[in-house]
Structure formats: C-alpha cells, structure tokens
Amino acid sequence: MKNILTRPVVAGAALGIVGLLAGVFAGIFFFKRGFSHGKSGEQSTASSIVPIFIVIALFIALITQFRFGENLPIFFSEKAPAAQHANLWLSLGAGVLVGIVMQRSRFCSIGAFRNFILSKDSYLLNGIVALVVCTSITNLMLGQFKLGFEQQPIAHNDVVWNFLSMTLCGLCFSFAGGCPGKQLVHLGEGNNDAALFLVGMLLGAAAAHNFSLAASGTGISTFTPYGVGLGLLFCLYIGFTNKSTH
C-alpha cells in the first residue's frame, strides 16, 4: 500500500493508484446500495487491551530472541526484503512519532480519496500529498530516489495485474473502513475489529507467500491471477449480500 504512494513515478505504482481509486469507487457504490457490517456492539475494557498485550509480547520476543525450546526458536528472515530493516530502536522511535501524528491527524489514504470523491473534502488528501513529498525528499537526501519505470526495487510493470490487485485492495480497505495504517492506529486505541483485520492481513500475506500467490520483482506468479480473481469474487459476494436491515 505505501509503495504505490511513495513511488508514484513507477509505471506499476501509477496503475496501482488508479486501481486503488477504482476499488474506492466500488466501495462507495456498495455503501450507497446499503452495504453494512451490521450493528456494532460494545466491548469491555479488558477485551480491548488483549490485542495490545499480544503486540507487547511479540515485541519482547523480538528483543529477547525468545525460544520455546532448544530446537524451537522464533525464526527471523535472513534474506529477501523481509530481512532488510532499519535499526530496531530507531524504527520504534519513528513508529511512535508516526503513530502520534496519524492518530491526531486521522490520516487514512482510503478515507482521503473517499472524502474527496464524495464531498470534495481535501483535509485527509493533504496528508497523502505530504507523505509523497516528504518521502521523495528523504529518498533524494539518501540517494535512493530513482525516476523512471525500469529496474525499480521489488517492482514489476505488469500493469494489468498491478491495477486489478490494487482494485482488490481498495475495495477490501473500503469495506474495512480504512487503510492498514488507520487499522494500526485503531489497534492502539483498543479496537478489536482492527485487530482482527490485521490478523487477517498477516494470514493473507502468509498464504500468498507460502502458496506462490505473491508477485515479485520479476513479475507475477502462475497462481497470482487466480488469487486476485477469487479475492475480487469474494468481495463482490460480500458487497452484494451484506445490507443494512433498516
């Protein structure tokens, strides 16, 4: 999600943004038809802090390199993009700062496009512009800015599937009520719906990589179209069958 906003000069990212907008438009269509998740229920304070404790436990496991037994460690990526990360404490500090800014500003990429489309409200859209500008400046300062369409890191130019996959993302995020960043903020606020959304994303990512559904810098896999197609069909089913009873 963040890649298409921070690398809009890449052909795939540009088509991804168009696809994301298409997904948002589709979400608006379903909401106008009466799409609803059903009546929200109250949750106790005790249940709302459970996901936060899980996050804290994962963080402790990370810094202590926790092991369940002699031959049962928690495995960490040693190659590919998952193994590339900034200093742990620098990441934590930056994450806290970004979390505060996002919570106070109500940043949401999906909400930004939705509000602008429905009511021409550009408040949240200003956050998207600021993100793109600041990321571009940072990449220029670090010598990581690369203008063009070819040989971009972890990107391919299969525009059809970039478009369709981000259409799927835009529709899913619209149904969920916000982008992954907003869901992380809601998790910190004790929202269990956001916690389930993020668990779903983790399981989906694991399935995509373990069952060869995920694309790579060399292009899509044999099974990528099936994954995207089934995802779109599932979302269409959800959109047409979940309506408010009022």
246 belongs to a structural domain: no
Looking at residue 201, what is its pLDDT? 92
Query: For tokens 């804290």, what's the residue?
Result: 56
- Which residues are registered as beta bridge partners of 73? 67
Please give the residue that has the higher pLDDT: either 204 or 245: 204
Please determine, for residue 82, whether its predicted confidence score (pLDDT) is greater than 80.
no
Give the domain extent around 82. Answer: 2-37+46-241
Looking at residue 93, what is its pLDDT? 93
- Give the chain's mean pLDDT: 84
Looking at residue 3, what is its pLDDT? 56
The stretches of 106-246 forming alpha helices (DSSP H) are 109-119, 123-141, 159-176, 180-188, 192-210, 224-241
38-52 mean pLDDT: 77
pLDDT digits (tens, 9 = 90+) for 203-220: 998 899 888 888 877 778
Helix (H/G/I), strand (E/B), else coil: 73: strand
Q: Residues 26, 167: contact at Cβ < 8 Å?
A: yes
Looking at residue 101, what is its pLDDT? 92
Provide the token pair at 2.
């963040």
Instruction: Round to whole Å and give the CA distance between 154 and 2.
Output: 13
Q: Residues 158, 222: contact at Cβ < 8 Å?
A: no
Instruction: Round to whole Å and give the CA distance between 32 and 14.
Output: 27
- Which residues are registered as beta bridge partners of 219? 216
pLDDT digits (tens, 9 = 90+) for 131-188: 888 888 888 888 877 776 666 666 677 788 889 999 999 999 999 989 999 999 999 8
Please determine, for residue 56, whether its predicted confidence score (pLDDT) is greater than 70.
yes
pLDDT digits (tens, 9 = 90+) for 13-38: 677 888 999 999 999 999 998 888 77
Please give the residue that has the higher pLDDT: either 54 or 67: 54
Please determine, for residue 6, whether its predicted confidence score (pLDDT) is greater than 60.
no
Predicted TM-score of the model (pTM): 0.82
Element (H, E) at 18: helix 11-32
Give helix 180-188 / helix 88-105 axis angle, nearest 10°: 90
Q: Residues 126, 211: contact at Cβ < 8 Å?
A: no
132 belongs to a structural domain: yes
pLDDT digits (tens, 9 = 90+) for 100-130: 999 999 999 999 999 998 888 889 999 888 8
Domains contained in the chain, number: 1
Instruction: Round to whole Å and give the CA distance between 207 and 216.
Output: 15
Looking at residue 110, what is its pLDDT? 92
- Which residues are registered as beta bridge partners of 246? none
pLDDT band at 12 (very low <50, low <70, confident <90, very high): low
Residues in the chain: 246
131 belongs to a structural domain: yes
